Amino acid sequence: STTYRILVLPGDHVGPEVMTEALKVLDVVEECQPGLRFERDSDLVGGCSIDAHGVPVTDAVLEKAAKSDAVLFGSVGGPEWTNAHPNPESGLLQLRQRLDAFANLRPCEVFIPSLVDASPIKADLVLGTKFVVVRENCGGAYFGQKVEEPDIASDLWVYTKREVERCCRVSAAVARMLGRNGDGQGGGGPAIVWSADKANVLASGRLWRKVTQNIFDEEFPDIELRHQLADSMAMLMVKNPRGFNGVVHTDNTFGDILSDISGGITGTLGILPSASISGIPGEGRCNGIYEPVHGSAPDISGKGIVNPVAQILSLAMMLRYSFHLTREAAAIEDAVTRILNSKEAGGMDIRTADMGGKASTTEIGDAICDAL
Amino acid sequence: STTYRILVLPGDHVGPEVMTEALKVLDVVEECQPGLRFERDSDLVGGCSIDAHGVPVTDAVLEKAAKSDAVLFGSVGGPEWTNAHPNPESGLLQLRQRLDAFANLRPCEVFIPSLVDASPIKADLVLGTKFVVVRENCGGAYFGQKVEEPDIASDLWVYTKREVERCCRVSAAVARMLGRNGDGQGGGGPAIVWSADKANVLASGRLWRKVTQNIFDEEFPDIELRHQLADSMAMLMVKNPRGFNGVVHTDNTFGDILSDISGGITGTLGILPSASISGIPGEGRCNGIYEPVHGSAPDISGKGIVNPVAQILSLAMMLRYSFHLTREAAAIEDAVTRILNSKEAGGMDIRTADMGGKASTTEIGDAICDAL
Ligand SMILES: CC(C)[C@H](C(=O)O)[C@@H](O)C(=O)O
Ligand SMILES: CC(C)[C@H](C(=O)O)[C@@H](O)C(=O)O
């Protein structure tokens, strides 16, 4: 039997609530597949780590993360730590950096009626949306040198050729897996890669564009690459979300914004998972951080109403990208789809409030476990 | 009689097409108001300036701009100049810098049925949207020191306290003019100011937030200020555009993206004007650059189908912000509304293709002149 070692970092506020549900789902996978064992260690990150240790992540936790096969992450932050230095979020940033989890994958799909209902976009425009944002995750303005004085402050938005290159290789691998049909099996050949930058203004944007073009010319001549200015892309994603079906390849700052627009398109961040990985998908096991796109949502925490779907789909991404358990990942995704679609299929409405339903966090988790 | 001196810079591709219509509208204003004279000088900027002079803007044009009362700007760029160094866009950036046009105002409203039709957002969510993005325009990553080498490139995302402060004063003035009712006359007291930053990640973002909070505490205690993370704001603007009615106060980079999301909300950039001003609205005349939010749209240029509304509304902003001709500005805005709403009011459909109509650029311009 194979054993995978997972570090579980629930974090703050709704983090532990959604994590509980994801771990229940993992239990079911383990029960159904006696050949698989998921060894779990749990620890603190974010505000709760500040309270316990004075820092948002301890060196010990960073080392544990580096030694595990994958990190399942909840969410961090909250009004209690507004004045904390460093802040809870920097725990997450340190973790990304320690694992060199340089590529952040954020899929967005709208393919069933209940997702169309929840979307603010007109149904005929949004149905059939399916893209994956691949966001560079360890460089750019997030990690460049900072100056912080009372009257002046700066962040260095810096990229090296190597950082852009390796992100290109991930985007290309995702384009091959996704496929132009969006079937996740490479159907129709590789999906289009849309690269977003501000090459008309930023030096780092010009490097991004040049290096990306070169890598695709040299290594992936069969993949269609298109460049788009990041501002214009933000506009077009709202106007015609299906227009970017495929892979959106972009830097850390623009990726942060563009992937939140995904939440605008679906109408809720509560269903959007993410994977921050340290290697090229399909090229051997790699460590990664798996976390919902949503934050710690202090306004609804403790009420048992947060949507656990993003965390559960993040778990599925972990099985797929860090462990290559494709079948198990697909089974979870399928169970989630059936639950979200339950009402339309003539069953009960099993959705949380963010999607217009009334179900509790636990009810969703249980239903997904049953469906599985 | 009062004379205003305007420098007209049509630029490239659709720039001259929309400018022709805006100048026709200005002629009408002049005819109706014999006390007003608009002295116009015209010159090159962008790609056409590169072709003629080897640079996207000459020193002579920059000096002329500085000496005029306002600059009416079309749009610059196109595939012909992809490899030009400096590029056409840098002509615009130099102009912003030369005039110290530090605050970029970009209103977004959806208030009549034909605008709701054109929007990708569901009607019940989008109707009644009315906000103004106030984007810092002369600082941040756009103008910080750049390094551009083959293997590494960077932009310094830097803000000083003074730069943030003066932008706050513009946002406050706009909030007072706009009013909480959005009536443009301060009705209901000052509108809410939403400040967007990434204070959880960027040093410049923390400065932005701290300075903004201080200025509003000290100088505008009666104005409601709320902070929002820029990524989350992008999401919420799509999900619930009316939720940010008021003023969106933000930095150069985030403002670039968030104001393009406005174009996503309206479904077209073709109706969105902008003003880049060098002083506080209401505190005396100030120079400014008035330009549509859309670019030079090479794909549709030369066909006579581009929407001139954004350029015409930019002209109205010039009358309002640089010349304090409030009545004249309102008359133009009113004429535009009537034309866009013509079909719903039982008349002809007078809209360009981007809004689902069939009218030509000239037809729209003529109709607006007639309505005026
Ligand atoms: C919490 C924050 C540091 C983080 C980021 O900006 O990367 C979040 O917004 C995200 O997108 O994962
Ligand atoms: C053309 C470009 C330099 C410009 C910008 O990025 O500021 C444009 O996108 C805008 O928003 O006015």
A322-351 confidence digits (pLDDT tens): 999 999 999 999 999 999 999 888 888 899
Examine the pLDDT at A284 and tell me if it is beyond 90: no
Q: Which fold has domain A120-252+261-266?
A: Isopropylmalate Dehydrogenase (3.40.718)
For residue B338, give how far its alpha carbon lies from the nearest alpha carbon of chain A (Å).
Answer: 25
How far apart are the C-alpha atoms of A269 and A294, rounded to whole Å? 5
**Which atom belonging to ligand 1 lies closest to the Cα atom of A291?**
12
Interchain pair B264, A237: CB under 8 A: yes
Look at residue B190 in the predicted model and tell me its pLDDT.
98
Sorting pLDDT into bands at 50, 70 and 90, what band is A318?
very high
Q: Flag whether residue B83 sits within 8 Å of chain A, measured between CB atoms.
A: no
A11 forms beta bridges with A75
Residue B344: pLDDT above 90?
A: no
Distance of CA A16 to the CA centre of its chain: 17
CA distance A266 to A272: 9
Is B77's CB within 8 Å of A200's CB?
yes
What pLDDT does residue A364 have?
Answer: 96
Residue A179 pLDDT greater than 90, yes or no: yes
**Band of pLDDT at residue A110, cut at 50, 70 and 90:** very high
Best residue of B129, B149, B158, B201 to probe chain A, by most A CBs closer than 10 Å: B201
Higher pLDDT, B1 or B153: B153
Which residues of B fall within a CB distance of 8 Å from A297?
none
Separation of alpha carbons A72 and A25, rounded Å? 13
CATH architecture, domain defined by B120-266? 3-Layer(aba) Sandwich (3.40)
Helix (H), strand (E) at residue B136: strand B129-136
Within 6 Å (CB) of ligand 2, which residues are found? A 200-201, 231; B 89, 92-93, 256
Looking at CA atoms only, how far is residue B139 from chain A in angstroms?
11
For ligand 1, the distance from its centroid to the CA atom of residue A256, given in whole angstroms, is 7
Q: Is the peptide bond before A86 cis (omega within 30 degrees of 0)?
A: yes
A115 or A31: which carries more pLDDT confidence?
A31
Instruction: Phi first, then psi: give them for residue A341, nearest 5 degrees.
Output: -95, 5
Q: Which CATH number fits domain A1-105+267-372: 3.40.718.10, 3.40.1180.10, 3.30.450.20, 3.30.70.1230?
A: 3.40.718.10
> Touching check for A226 and chain B: CB below 8 Å?
no
Output the six-digit token pair for B232.
């989350």
CATH homologous superfamily for B1-101+282-372?
Isopropylmalate Dehydrogenase (3.40.718.10)
pTM of the model: 0.96
Alpha-carbon Rg for chain B, nearest whole angstrom, is 20
Q: What is the pLDDT of residue A114?
A: 84
Q: List, as ranges, residues 117-156 from A with C-beta within 8 Å of B.
A: 120-122, 125, 141-142, 144, 146-148, 150-156
d(CA B113, CA B128): 10
Average pLDDT over every residue of A302-308:
96
Of B116, B182, B27, the closest CA to residue B355 belongs to B116
* Sign (positive or negative) of CA dihedral B315, B318, B321, B323: negative
Catalytic residue at B43?
no
Across B253-261, average pLDDT: 97
A47 to chain B, any CB pair closer than 8 A? The answer is no
**Alpha helix stretches (DSSP H) within B287-325:** 309-321
Q: A206 CA distance to ligand 2 centroid (A)?
A: 15
pLDDT score for B283 = 87
Residue B167: pLDDT band (50, 70, 90) is very high
Stretch B359-364: mean pLDDT? 96
Domain boundaries, chain B: 1-101+282-372, 120-266
Mutation target among B125, B231, B242, B271 for the A interface, most CBs of A within 10 A: B231
Q: Tell me the residues of chain A between 185 and 204 that have a Cβ less than 8 Å away from chain B.
A: 198, 200-204
pLDDT at A106: 97
pLDDT band of B47, cuts 50, 70, 90 = very high
- CB atoms near residue B348 (< 10 Å): 13
Q: What is the pLDDT of residue B339?
A: 94
Report which ligand 1 atom has the smallest distance to the Cα of B229.
9
**Residues of A identified as active-site:** 142, 198, 231, 256, 260
Q: Average pLDDT for residues B243-270, to the nearest whole number?
A: 96
Q: Do domains A1-105+267-372 and A120-252+261-266 have the same CATH topology?
A: yes
Residue to probe by mutation, ligand 2, list B136, B256, B258, B262, most atoms within 8 Å of CB: B256
The reported pLDDT for the residue numbered A283 is: 87
Angle between helices B14-32 and B326-340 in degrees, nearest 10:
120
